[in-house]
Structure 1
């Protein structure tokens, strides 16, 4: 099958959306499917406001049309509600072609965190973007129900996976810090609510793995925190494994792939009882959710590492890719 994946989030960006999409592409190609990735690297781009490391395509419709015409896809999936996503949506609408979409990022809440605009305005745009899609893939039941209440139809559940060979318990020597080590991995940005973690009074140490627009500012504000910058591959896995508790302070993520990666490395999770943690962590004995994040961290430290690892072993990128393939809407 010839599958076109249109996404504004792609390498060299480092985030859960890119990791999910890139692994899906790998699995699909391994199964013999031909996949065209329409991403910003194929276009002239400008930096995203407040996120200069994210590049946005400029006037991409003609380029998207040319790429899709030349490829002749048998299915089109649009992964992001940004310039390339809107261009691909327009392409499909003009030709009467079916397409699917996915909801990865709660942009209305992200915009509110930066501008104070009410999320209702952002969700009106989200609703308009996804309305023509044959199916809209979402990662968790909580997000499914939330979007359904906001009038977004034809939602289907699309789970996630984790590479349990890469992310695994191993020597804890990547971080030479007093223990216990409380670890955060992800973008260093306001919408991740990272201050809620950094402001906690905790024994041992705090470590932050990742880059983002607030990195330099937070290094100055919190000199006692180890900010080690972004990591990838085996180096990232080593830093996960070096921690003792994974702290996930975000209240805006739709899933939180980093939680699965941490669990695969044997780290229990402390988080707020919000979408993402509620779906992944709640009721499984692998983490603690509490409106008091400090209480959640203290309780999570008591959870055996092997419980976390065993839970993560049930997640597979192959199953994730098969779900994705089953939800695609064939053209013609």
Structure 2
């Protein structure tokens, strides 16, 4: 089969969408399919890797370092007219994604879309709450032009269906349990954080931006330190709030962006993962933390709602229950044996989240769309 994947973001950009889409593309290739990736050019002299089409790009407002693709409908219609994909996956709703969706529809190519970001929820975090309805209407219009909208949780599948999104299908997420594992714990790294062997380290991994609700994580850390003065908090990631947070909270450890084995060491060297965001469609970092042997404290939504068993491998609280969130962090930080037992259970819970299995499900879904449209051949192995 020949699949085309369109995404406005791609590694080395560090975000959940980029990493998820790259993993899906790699999984399809590992299954023997031809995959053409269409994405924005990230630097002026960038050379397109084999199997990739680069298009012009523009800076993404409020996200320094990220770029969105320019519309490329004419180019895609020409390219797909010569080499027609069996199915198209549009991962992002930007100008490039919208033009790709239009091109696929014009040529009668089956197309699935991915809903990775709740832009309607972001509106409030950026002082534009009155535009939530407009954002939701645009998202619904965009995704309903495809044959399927892929989401990572049953909760989101049901919510979007109730909001008028059609053909919403769940595609689970996976985690690389070989990369993220407790054995990467590093005493020297902890020493660099001024954390002793028995000092609990609270970890947050993600963009330092308004939509991440970081004030709640910091409030939880303050409550923990009131009980355990040696406790530390490490923030992995970068973003527009970093400078202001660093000035206001000089005792926090700002680790910046981390990748690969270095990121895995940061996870495994902490003791408790705190994730206060209320805007995630999923939150891959939750699974990465669990695979690294960390119990999770989070709101009962996204990945936490799907994979954290409350009281067994972490604690989930109702969305917006800030006092309960803080209390859970204090409880786990002060109960070392319970925290370690939950960490073992968290690691165990990720054992079946195999990237190859997710790629197979993605393959089957795209093939089913191709067959419904009369394209492609049956090979659901």
Q: Is the TM-score greater than 0.5? A: yes
Q: Is the 8 A contact 2:2 2:35 kept in 1?
A: yes
Shift in Å, 1:258: 0.4
The 5-angstrom pairing of residues 245-256 of structure 1 reads: 245-256=272-283
Shift in Å, 1:66: 4.0
- Consecutive unaligned residues of structure 2, counting only runs of 5 or more, are 42-53, 226-230, 376-381
Matched, 1:207 2:219: no
3-state SS of paired residue (2:147): coil
The alpha-carbon distance between structure 1 residues 10 and 262, as it changes in their structure 2 partners (threshold 3 A), is: same
Matched, 1:61 2:73: yes
The 5-angstrom pairing of residues 1-332 of structure 1 reads: 1-41=1-41, 42-114=54-126, 115-170=128-183, 171-173=185-187, 174-176=189-191, 177=193, 178=195, 179-200=199-220, 201=222, 202-203=224-225, 204-283=231-310, 285-290=312-317, 291=321, 292-301=324-333, 302-303=338-339, 304=341, 305-328=343-366, 329-330=369-370, 332=375
3-state SS of paired residue (1:84): helix
Shift in Å, 1:284: 7.0
Shift in Å, 1:199: 2.6
Alpha-carbon distance in structure 2 between the residues aligned to 1:11 and 1:111:
26
Alpha-carbon distance in structure 2 between the residues aligned to 1:59 and 1:255:
27
Once the two structures are superposed, what CA deviation does each residue of 1:4-38 show, in whole Å capped at 9, x if it has no partner?
00111212211111111111111211121111111
Structure 1 stretches of 4+ moved >4 Å: none
Shift in Å, 1:300: 3.7
The alpha-carbon distance between structure 1 residues 70 and 243, as it changes in their structure 2 partners (threshold 3 A), is: farther
Q: Is the 8 A contact 1:64 1:84 kept in 2?
A: no
Alpha-carbon distance in structure 1 between the residues aligned to 2:169 and 2:332:
32
3-state SS of paired residue (1:152): coil
3-state SS of paired residue (2:58): strand
Structure with max Cα Rg: 2
Q: Which has the higher contact order (CA 8 A, sep 6+)?
A: 1
Shift in Å, 1:92: 1.6
Cα RMSD after superposing both structures? 1.6
Using the size of structure 1 for normalisation, the TM-score is 0.95
- Consecutive unaligned residues of structure 1, counting only runs of 5 or more, are none
State the aligned residue count.
332
Shift in Å, 1:84: 1.3
Once the two structures are superposed, what CA deviation does each residue of 1:231-255 show, in whole Å capped at 9, x if it has no partner?
0000000000010000011001011
Alpha-carbon distance in structure 2 between the residues aligned to 1:263 and 1:76:
32
Alpha-carbon distance in structure 2 between the residues aligned to 1:59 and 1:293:
43
The alpha-carbon distance between structure 1 residues 33 and 214, as it changes in their structure 2 partners (threshold 3 A), is: same
3-state SS of paired residue (2:360): helix
Q: Is the 8 A contact 1:135 1:155 kept in 2?
A: yes
